[in-house]
Amino acid sequence: MDPYRLFVVLAVIAGAGVWCLEQQGQSLLSYLALMSAVVIPGQLFANLFAAAEHTGFTVIDVFLGSYGSNFIGGAIGGVIALWILLQLRPLTARFGSPLKVLDQAACFVPLSMAIGRVGCFISGDGCYGPPTGLPWGVAFPHGTVPTGVPVHPTMLYDAVLLFLFFLWIVWTYRGRFIALPPRIPLATFLIFYGCERFLCEFLRLNPKYAGLSQAQWLSLVAVVVGVIVVMRANKLQRQGLNQ
């Protein structure tokens, strides 16, 4: 197993473990099964979004991940898969509604994403930044896009920030996964990751469309959606207090 796929497996196990602990007594295997069922189509979407930035890609390129993967594309695919799966009544009865599960996911998925980013770093998947003279610059002579010059390890920047966000949000909602404030954890994560990824993309050597990369345009959408959700939640809360 190559390093990236190994870290994807570790990411799924870690996320399912946190989810299971916070649910207090549920079966770990059931959470592993659901996360695996979501990650597989999510990975295909991640490969598709990455391949879409290259001309002449084929279906087999998408399945093999020949052009790498896009984390935001993977998240979109995962959400679609989760939404479809949770239309099944037995799964809804066990895990909750899609929106409830997405709120919970916002509290443990950052850990999974941080571990996945470490996998990107170890495998040298090519999503690093420009050359740098900073002490933590890293060369990737055997990476997907080989470079013998130290560059910004943007994967580690992502990993550190995602892990810090994970610590903060779990501390904020510790012991409350079953009764989280509706939509707020999800919106908080969308705003955080949208801003973090938007800024980090300036250090990545990705193709630009109207001055911004694909990930930056998707990040802006994530931030806007997150802000709208927070505003709507606050409006509903005020209406409830005034009744």
Specify if 118 maps to a domain.
Answer: yes
Residue 149 pLDDT exceeds 80: yes
Percent of the chain with pLDDT over 70: 96
Nearest to 203 by CA among 158, 147, 145: 158
pLDDT band per the 50, 70, 90 thresholds, residue 189: very high
**Total of domains in the chain:** 1
Q: Give the pair of three-digit tokens for residue 24.
A: 């207090």
Amino acid making up residue 177: F
Distance between CA 29 and CA 89 in Å, rounded? 19
Task: Provide the pLDDT for residue 239.
Answer: 67
Specify if 197 maps to a domain.
Answer: no
For 103, counting Cβ atoms within 10 Å of its Cβ (0-12 exposed, 13-18 middle, 19+ buried), the class is buried
Specify if 224 maps to a domain.
Answer: no
Specify if 21 maps to a domain.
Answer: yes
Residue 65 pLDDT exceeds 80: no
pLDDT band per the 50, 70, 90 thresholds, residue 193: very high
The overall average pLDDT reported for the chain is 87
Residue in the structure block whose two tokens are 């197993």: 1
Specify if 231 maps to a domain.
Answer: no
Task: Provide the pLDDT for residue 71.
Answer: 79
> Highest mean pLDDT range out of 74-78, 116-120, 124-128, 191-195?
191-195
Nearest to 143 by CA among 58, 205, 57: 205
Specify if 184 maps to a domain.
Answer: no
Which structural domain, as residue segments, surrounds residue 133? 3-175
For residues 172-179, average pLDDT: 80
pLDDT band per the 50, 70, 90 thresholds, residue 196: very high
Specify if 225 maps to a domain.
Answer: no
